[in-house]
Each structure stands twice: as C-alpha cells, then as structure tokens.
Structure 1
Amino acid sequence: MKLKVLNLKQTLAILASSVAISAFAADDIPQITIDATKPGPTIDRDIYGQFAEHLGRGIYEGIWVGKDSEIENINGFRTDVIEALRDINVPLVRWPGGCFADEYRWRDGIGPRDERPVRVNTHWGGVEEDNAFGTHEFFELVELLGADAYVNGNLGTGNPREMAEWLEYMTGTSTSAVVEERRKNGRDEPWEVAYFGIGNEAWGCGGHMRPAYYADLYNHFATFLKTPRGSEPKFVASGGHTTDTSWTDTLSKNIQRQMAGISFHFYTLPTGEWDDKGESIGFAEEEWFATLWQTLRMDEFIRLNKKVLDKNDPEKKLGFYVDEWGTWYNPEEGREPGFLYQQNTLRDAVVAALNFNVFHQHADRVRMTNIAQMVNVLQAMILTEEDEMVLTPTYYVYDLYQVFQDATSLPVEVTNPASYRMGEKTLPGISVSAARGKDGQLYLSLVNLNPQRAQQVSVDVQGGEYRSAQGRVLTAEAMDARNTFDREPEVEPAQYRAEGEPGELKLELPPKSVIVVALGA
C-alpha cells in the first residue's frame, strides 16, 4: 500500500499544535497504560467483515461487470476492486442482504445467466434485477478475496424447504438431486459457508415480527437446516437494534436449535433522525461532533446487550454480531435515493476507527461485524465511476487496522483523559486500543476526536520496555476531506514515528486523526 509523508503545511500545523500542548505540565496530558501481562480475548478477524447487498451499484458495476466488459476484469469481477480488497485482507463478506435477502429467491441466481429470470428489486430503487450475480458468483468472489462466506437466508418470503435446499446446494456432498444440480452448474466440490443468517431485521423489513414469533420461526426453519458432518456454519439469529434488548433476551432464552450468535444493527446518523440524517460533506463542527457522539452510542448498546447475554448465557457460547453498522447520510442530490450512494470523508474514517476500538473492548462477545457496505453504498471502502475507482478514507482505516485481526487484546487504562466538549455534551478527546498481534508485536491504535486541537499522550507498558512507536497516521486539513475522481486524493496514510524512554514515550496526535503504531524497544 502506498505511503506518503506529511506535506509541509500539515507538518507546520502539527508542530504549532504541539507547541501549544507543550505548555501543559506532563501531569496534565493523558497517560495511557497498557498491561501486557494480562492478555484478554482474541480480536476475531471477522470483526473486520464486509457487506455486499444487491443495492444500487454495490454489486453491479461496483464488483461485477461481466466477462465481456471493457473494464479490466477477472472472469467478470473488476480487477481493480478485487486487488484493492485483497490489500486490506477482507476476512468475511455478507450477502445477498440486508432487506434484499428476505425477498431473494436463490434459484433465480443459478444456471446459465442468459436464462435467469428478471425480478424487481422492490426494496432499493425498484430497479430490475437480472440475477447475473448469484450463488456461484458470490462464492467465486470470496475465493478471489481469500475471504469467508456469510450467507443470509430468506425467512421473510421464503419457506423452510427453500432455505434447506439452498444450504444443501451449497454444502452437500451426496448425489441428491439438489447437489447434482450444483455439479451440473459447474461446481463439483461443496463450498464452505462460515455463517448462515436465518432472516434479516425481523423487527423491520424482514417481517415486522415480535421477538417471540421470530424465535418460533427460527426454531422451525433451523430444524431443517442440515449439512454434512463437520461443515455446519455458524447460524445467526436476527436480533435487535439501539437500546431494545428484548430481542437479545427473548432469543437467548427461547431458541432451542443451533445458534452461534445474535445479530445487531446500528447506523450512525449525525442528527439521529431518519427524515433528515445530515449531509455527507459541507458540514460544520457541530455536525462533526454530533456524528461522533452518535457513533459512540455503540458502546452503550453493546454493554446493554452483553448484560442480558451474561445473564442468559454465562458460558459465553453466543456471539453478539454487529452485522450492519456505519454512517448513513441524506441522499446525494441528483442521484437515485434508493441507491444509498454517499461521499466518504475523514469523518467516516474517524467513525470507523472509533467503532473498531469499541469492538476490541468487547471482543469477548463481539466476534463478527459487517460494515455497510463494501462498494458504492453507504460507508463504502471503494467508490467507482465506470472504469475509475477511488479508495475512501474508511478503506484506509481498514488498511491500518489489519494488524488487529486475530490479535490478543490487552487492557488499557487512560488516566487524566482529554475531553472534547460542545454545548452540554462531552466526548472523550481520545480513543485507544491495544493488542498483541499474531506476529508478536504490540500494537496501539489512537484516535484524536477533536478536529481543532492536537493532543499529546504519554504511553507506558507494564510488562515490557518500549521506547519507540512506528506506524501510520491518517489525517487531513478539512473535516470533510475526501478522495474523488476529479482531483488528487486528500486523505491517504502517512508514515509516523515517535521515540522516547520507557514510561516517558510521548506521541503527538494531530487534530482529527487516526494512528496505528507498533511499539518497539
């Protein structure tokens, strides 16, 4: 991945802020203490999962262009997008939805493409869906990426037989009619399904159900979902949202069939209002603050649901899967509102990093998440326009945080934390997470939430002597800095290094920045 160094203007701004910071006594700056002697739960790589729904240009054009396209492709998949996603080590992809999943007829997406039926995508824009991208294409995608598959089944408009036959089609090894159909369609060996969702948002677009009714349906459908021994996926129940823990409580008490975890959805709306969510660019600091305040509610929601799970599942067998999360803004003017295309700025990068640090803190239960969505939809990694592609600020956060995949979390204490205030509300000035990577390195992530003020922090590690920090920083001059098709990128990682003495290692955090470093002796 290409690195850049901070330009002169950025460097001068950081130094000026650092001079202001140095006026404070050492006791006044935040003190970060990492206890390397007390390893915590593993930060599951699937926390960095992606989501690809049949929505707008998320799949068609964004990922799939077909073999005959003039856009360079690998068997119909955009070469540039595939290579970019490989670079961030995507561990998991969820498909086909989302709301789309509960109207999806899996048989529409198999067999010769020119014979597949056309349907209307009633959820997203009322456009025609030609089913060119179906089951075989999805598994080819995840194989190209080296990722695992999370398939969401149709409980809303489907039936148990339909769902059971789809799972058999994907995983079966016998000579049954369904498995032979898969072989006829070009796939001899079964695929591996890491996760299988039984419905989606049953409280909303998946059927507007009550928790108890959905629990009964889950038990009904799950009874017939069978795979060859050793190939059973982790089954996911459709859970709740925001502060409503009734779904988590009811499902963890009443689902009697196989269940690995309960899903949860939360989108960050700057205003907190669905009718007028806020804009993706051109916002004032008040909206920057409101966005970060809203996204940090994720910690509250996870804590509330963990409390319920700890009561009903003290052995921690169940995971809490945040399989839809991210920013959601007002539709861009001139675009189809149902396509959910939005610009992605430095603010989105900060939102992503804050959520990752929250997920790390709750790694005992949060074992899988999926940002919404991968390409051209909501808080995307990648935006495309015909044969062009740009990498978003959120993409670069996933790049920086790769080192935390399957790392061992470490306790972190922040004393004398800085505060970021606006009106009557207060946010922490910094967000921190630490872990021991699979490579043995000690990694530290830091986010400076304040868009106006740099911050100095002091780092001490119990159980080791660390004198340096080396990694990358993501920042820019404007709060809505972004990467577009018509000019040079405004947000890309830059090299970062700091040196000091054990117990006296100090790091300078530029305003509105995300930093990931390895600590060294």
Structure 2
Amino acid sequence: FLRAPGNSRPKMIASGGSGFDTAWTDVLSKELKGRTVGISVHQYTIAGTTWEGKGKDLGFKEDEWISTLANTLKMDQLIKDHVAVLDKHDPEKKIGLMIDEWGTWYDEAGARSALFQQNSLRDALVAALNFHIFHAHAERVPMTTIAQMVNVLQAMILTDKEKMVLTPTYYTFQMYVPFQDARSLPLAIKDNTSYTMGATTIPGVSASASLAKDGKVYLALVNTDPHKAVDVAVDVAGAKVNAAAGKVLTSAAMDAHNTFQNPQVIKPAAFSARAAGGKLSIKVPAKAVMVVALEE
C-alpha cells in the first residue's frame, strides 16, 4: 500500500520484543522472508528495581547513580542474547537487530507531561555507555534510536513555548558525530579500574574507537566513578600517537542539568593532551564523557 519510487523502496523492520525475552526474535528470524532487514527490540534503563519505583530524575543519591549505570550496561548481554538467536536462524547476517527504543525512564516528576523528565550528567554517561556497546556489536546492530528527542524521557532538547534548552544527552550525541558512518576498531582495556558502591561494582572506564570518514582515529572514554579521575595510557597498534584533542563533558554535581533559566550549566569543554617520553596519557575527570581525535 505504500507507494515509493523504485530507487527509494522502504525497508521493512519487524516489530520484535522487549528486554531479555528473545521469543519474538526467535519466531521472527525463523519465519521472516523477503524484504525484512531487521527485528526491533526495546530496552529502557531505570535507576530503581521495579517499574513502580524507577527512581528520580534529579536529586538522586549515589546509589541511584551507580544502579542506573549498572542497569544500562546490561544492554551488552541483551544484545548478545538476541544475536545468538539471530546467528542460529540467519547465519548469513541479512537480518539486523534494531535497538529502536532505548534510554532512561524515571518516575513521573509531575511536570508538564507524564513522560517529561529532566536530563542530567548521569544521562549523558548512559548515552555514551550505550554507544560503546552498540559500536562493539556494529556488525549485527545496524541501527539504534534513542526513544525520544524532545520533551519526553531522555530527550536531547527541552522546549517551553519559544524557549529551547540543550541537554547533556544532546551534547553527548554531538560529541559522538565522528562515530557516524565510521569503522569500529577493536579495542582492549588493560588493568581497568572499577567503581564500587555497596554490593554493586562496574568497570571504571568504558571506551570505544573508530576510524572516521575524515581519516582520523577517534577515541571515546567514559569514567563512571563520580569521585576519582583516571589516567588512561593510549597505545595504538602500528602507529605512534603524539597528541589527542577533542571535548570533555563533566560537572561538579552528579545531577548537573540545564534549565530555561540557566541553559549552559553543563556543556562540553575543549580538551587536549600531548605525549611525554613517547607515551600519550589522557586524564579523564571523574564522572565524565570524553571524545578525542588521536594525532600522530
């Protein structure tokens, strides 16, 4: 029923399931034939343990900081579970896994709409951590879309009549633009730090690297620890890296956010580092997202 010119045919994506339940992925990948290029799956990140207590968007304590990041890191295993099913039924890899709803979802804040929530530095880290997971599975995950863009859930833009404010999530997307249409590069973190609170422990550093369309190698780093900066020694196989330059996003408060009254409380700052003694070391501030281009 959808009329489209022959050189612009629509691509069909099957509506799949949600979370770790792979039943729909199993059934669809066995039965799909023809033009379908993907199966969708949804996965939201909450701070709490139940949908009735998802956690606060602002004014949260450190236990909700770490629980949010720990919950979002589960995306990696979710993708592995669904991809294992796809690999069984689609070994030629014609069908992609489309993560077409992801992002944070907190308790209703009683604001302008039921799904409106503020967006803080914590959400910026959530976005970056998910980017890194998606990049690592680029062969099987050809498309991802954060659930909402304006005024709803983990939005990039908040509006109020003629006013508009850019969120930390917006700036994270902006910083990662070089990763679009780039080639994901293999990367390993040796002697990684860890961040622990109570019974929860997560990796201290998350990273992703790519060869971008401009010919440069880009390195993205996240420091999940809200208290301690970390020094990262950079070693690129087959190349001598002398410098790094880019942007870093961080703030003093875990829930730092922009408002219509104060729209630039948190935004990216310039960052650069040069090699010393033939070695390049990058100091990543506490609770920060960083994207830099590496220079030989």
- TM-score w.r.t. length of structure 2: 0.97
Q: Answer whether contact 1:444 1:519 (CA < 8 A) is retained.
A: yes
**Residue matched to 1:77:** none
For 2:78, the aligned partner's letter is F
What residue in structure 1 maps to residue 42 of structure 2? 265
Q: Distance in 2 between matches of 1:235 and 1:496?
A: 42
Are 1:392 and 2:167 matched, yes or no? yes
Out of 472, 478, 481, which is 2:247 matched to? 472
Q: Partner residue of 1:362?
A: 137
CA contact (8 A) 1:465 1:502 kept: no
Deviation at 1:372, TM superposition (A): 1.6
SS in 2 for 1:438: coil
CA contact (8 A) 1:460 1:503 kept: no
Paired with 1:487 and 1:335, the residues of 2 have a C-alpha distance of 18
1:273 deviates by 1.3
| TM-aligned CA deviation for residue 334 of structure 1 | 4.6
| Counterparts of residues 92-491 of structure 1 (less than 5 Å) | 164=1, 167-168=2-3, 171=4, 228-337=5-114, 340-491=115-266
Distance in 2 (alpha carbons) for counterparts of 1:403 and 1:459: 19
Alignment RMSD: 1.2
**In structure 2, C-alpha distance between the alignment counterparts of 1:503 and 1:360, rounded to whole Å:** 29
SS in 2 for 1:341: coil
Whether 2:271 is the aligned partner of 1:496: answer yes
The Cα shift of 1:272 comes to 3.3
Q: Measure, in 1, the Cα distance between the counterparts of 2:100 and 2:146.
A: 7
Change (3 A) 1:502 1:468: farther
Q: Which consecutive unaligned segments of at least 5 residues does structure 2 have?
A: none
Q: How big is the shift at 1:502?
A: 8.0
Displacement of 1:236 in angstroms is: 0.2
Find the aligned partners of 1:401 and 1:256 in 2 and give their Cα distance.
Answer: 35
Equivalent residue of 1:414, what SS?
coil
| Structure 1 position 239, deviation (Å) | 0.9
Shift of 1:233: 1.7
Counterparts of 2:273 and 2:77, CA distance in 1:
33
Change over 3 Å in CA distance of 1:364–1:503 after alignment to 2: farther
- 8 Å CA contact 2:208–2:219 kept in 1: the answer is yes
Say whether the 8 Å CA contact 2:45–2:103 is kept in structure 1: yes
Amino acid at match of 1:466: V
- Check whether the contact 1:270–1:329 (CA below 8 A) recurs between aligned residues: yes
Aligned-pair identity in percent equals 53
Instruction: Please say if residues 467 and 520 of structure 1, whose CA atoms lie closer than 8 Å, have aligned partners that are also in contact.
Output: yes
**d(CA) in 2 for partners of 1:502, 1:296:** 36
Contact 2:67–2:200 (8 Å) recurs in 1: no
Letter in 2 for 1:249: D
How far apart in 1 are the matches of 2:178 and 2:268? 15
Structure possessing the higher radius of gyration over alpha carbons:
1
How far is 1:229 from its partner?
3.0
1:92-143 Cα deviation digits (max 9, x unpaired): xxxxxxxxxxxxxxxxxxxxxxxxxxxxxxxxxxxxxxxxxxxxxxxxxxxx
| Offset at residue 488 of structure 1 (A) | 4.8
Structure 1: how far apart are the matches of 2:263 and 2:6? Answer: 52
User: 1:325 is paired with a residue of what secondary structure?
Assistant: strand
CA distance in 2, matches of 1:321, 1:503: 42
Matched-pair contact (CA < 8 Å) for 2:69–2:126:
yes
Name the CA shift for 1:239/1:488 in 2 (closer, same or farther; >3 Å).
closer
Higher fraction of strand: 2
Aligned-residue offset at 1:409: 0.8
Structure 1 position 336, deviation (Å): 3.6
What does 1:499-510 align with in structure 2 at a 5 Å threshold?
Answer: 499-501=274-276, 504-510=279-285
Q: Name structure 1 gaps, 5 residues minimum.
A: 1-163, 172-227
Q: Residues 261 and 482 (structure 1 numbering): CA distance in 2 closer, same or farther, change over 3 Å? A: same
Partner of 1:39: none
- Structure 1 residue 417: Cα displacement: 0.7
Give the SS at the match of 2:7.
coil
Structure 1 runs, 4 residues or longer, greater than 3 Å off:
none
Query: Contact (CA 8 Å) 1:466, 1:501: kept in 2 or not?
Result: no
In the alignment, is the contact (CA less than 8 A) between 1:460 and 1:502 conserved in 2? no
Distance 2:31 2:277 in 1: 52
Higher normalized contact order (CA 8 Å, seq sep 6+, divided by chain length): 1
Specify which structure has the higher proportion of helix: 1
